[in-house]
Structure 1
Amino acid sequence: MSAGDGARPYLNFRFVVEVDSLVAGGFTEVSGLEREVETEAYDEGGVNDHTHTLRSGVTSPNLVLRRGLTDADTLWNWLQRVADGDVERKTVLVFLQDATGEAARGWAFREAYPVRWAGPAFAAESGDVAIETLELTHTGVSTVDGV
C-alpha cells in the first residue's frame, strides 16, 4: 500500500444495513445520513456590530432505505405492527465498506421504527427493477465505534 492510499475516498455503492444486528437485505440506496445543529440568532442590547448565534438543538431527518421489491416481508411486517399500534423501536446500523468488503465507517440510528412505505411505480415500457422505499424515524444518529 502506498502512502497516498489512506486518502482515497470510499465508494458509495458498498454498504450494508443491519436492523437489530441482523443484515436486513440488499438495499440499493440509503439516504438521510445527516445531523444538523440548529441555531437561533440573539441580538444583544448595546452590541450593534454582530448577532450572537446560539445552539438550540440537534436534528436528523428520517432514514430512507430503498431496495428491489422481493418476497421477503420482514420490513413490511414491522411497518404493519407499528401501524397497528405496536411500536417496536430497533437500532439500525449502516456500514460503509472498503474495497475488500470490510466495514470502514458506520452509523447507528437509535430507537428507529418505520413511518412510511412506498411501493414501486409501474410502467409497462420500462424494464427497471421494482423498488420499494421504507422510511424510518429515529431519535438520533451517531458513529459506530470500533469500525
Structure 2
Amino acid sequence: MATERPNPYSNFNFVVEIDNEEVLGFSEVTGLDSETTPVEYREGSDPTSAMRQLPGTEKYSPVTLKRGITGSLYLWNWRKEARDGGTTFPPTRTVTIKLLNEKHDRNAPAMTWVLTNAWPTKLTGPTLSAKGNEFAVEQLDLIHERLDVS
C-alpha cells in the first residue's frame, strides 16, 4: 500500500520478486510507466469540427532490470524458455518491484509495482574489458500485459 509523506523516498532501496520470491538482487529498474493512446473521434452530425479524444489502447514500455552477474542462471533459463517455447508460451511470471522505507521493511513497502504476465524479450550480457574495473552487469528486458501500482 502506498504511503504518502512530505519527503521523497530514496530510489536505491528496493527489491524485485518474481512469482512472489526474491530470487536475485537487481541494481536498477527502469520503464515503470503506462500510457493510454487516445483515439480521435467525431460524430457525423456534430456541428463543430473539433475532434474528441477518447481513451484507446493501454500501452506499457518494456521494463528493464539490471544486475551484477553472480553466476545464477535463473534469468538465462527464463529467457531460454521464452526462446525455445517451454510448456507454456510465453512463459509468464508476476514480477513485483517494492520500494522500501528506511526500515527496509519488505512486508510494508512504501510503494509496489506489479507486472502481470511478464516475460523476457531480451537478455543482454555484460560488456567485458580488461582495461576497466567495473562489475559485469547483465540486463533483462521484460514485456508485460498490465502494470498496477499500490
Q: 2:78 aligns to what SS in structure 1? A: helix
Supply the distance in 2 between the matched residues of 1:110 and 1:82 (Cα, whole angstroms): 16
Q: Report the counterpart of residue 6 of structure 1 in structure 2.
A: 5
Q: Report the counterpart of residue 75 of structure 1 in structure 2.
A: 75
**1:2-51 residue CA offsets vs partner (Å, 9 max, x unmatched):** xxx92111111111000001103110100110011110233454214x43
Unaligned regions of 5+ residues in structure 1, if any? none
Unaligned regions of 5+ residues in structure 2, if any? none
Q: State the TM-score, normalized to the length of structure 2.
A: 0.86
Within the candidate set 97, 100, 124, 1:97 is matched to 100
Supply the distance in 1 between the matched residues of 2:121 and 2:51 (Cα, whole angstroms): 38
**1:101-147 residue CA offsets vs partner (Å, 9 max, x unmatched):** 12110011001111100011122221111110011111110024xxx
Q: State the TM-score, normalized to the length of structure 1.
A: 0.87
Moved over 4 A (4+): none
Supply the distance in 2 between the matched residues of 1:27 and 1:85 (Cα, whole angstroms): 26
Q: Give the counterpart letter for 1:42 in structure 2.
A: Y
Q: Report the counterpart of residue 116 of structure 1 in structure 2.
A: 122
Q: Report the counterpart of residue 55 of structure 2 in structure 1.
A: 55
Supply the distance in 1 between the matched residues of 2:39 and 2:10 (Cα, whole angstroms): 36
Q: Give the counterpart letter for 2:131 in structure 1.
A: E
Supply the distance in 2 between the matched residues of 1:83 and 1:40 (Cα, whole angstroms): 34
- Residues 18-57 of structure 1 aligned to structure 2 (within 5 Å): 18-43=17-42, 45-48=46-49, 50-57=50-57
Q: CA RMSD in A?
A: 1.6
Q: Give the counterpart letter for 2:80 in structure 1.
A: Q
Q: 1:27 aligns to what SS in structure 2? A: coil
Higher RCO (CA-CA < 8 Å; seq separation 6+): 2
Give percent identity, aligned residues only: 32
Q: 2:119 aligns to what SS in structure 1? A: strand
Supply the distance in 1 between the matched residues of 2:6 and 2:58 (Cα, whole angstroms): 30
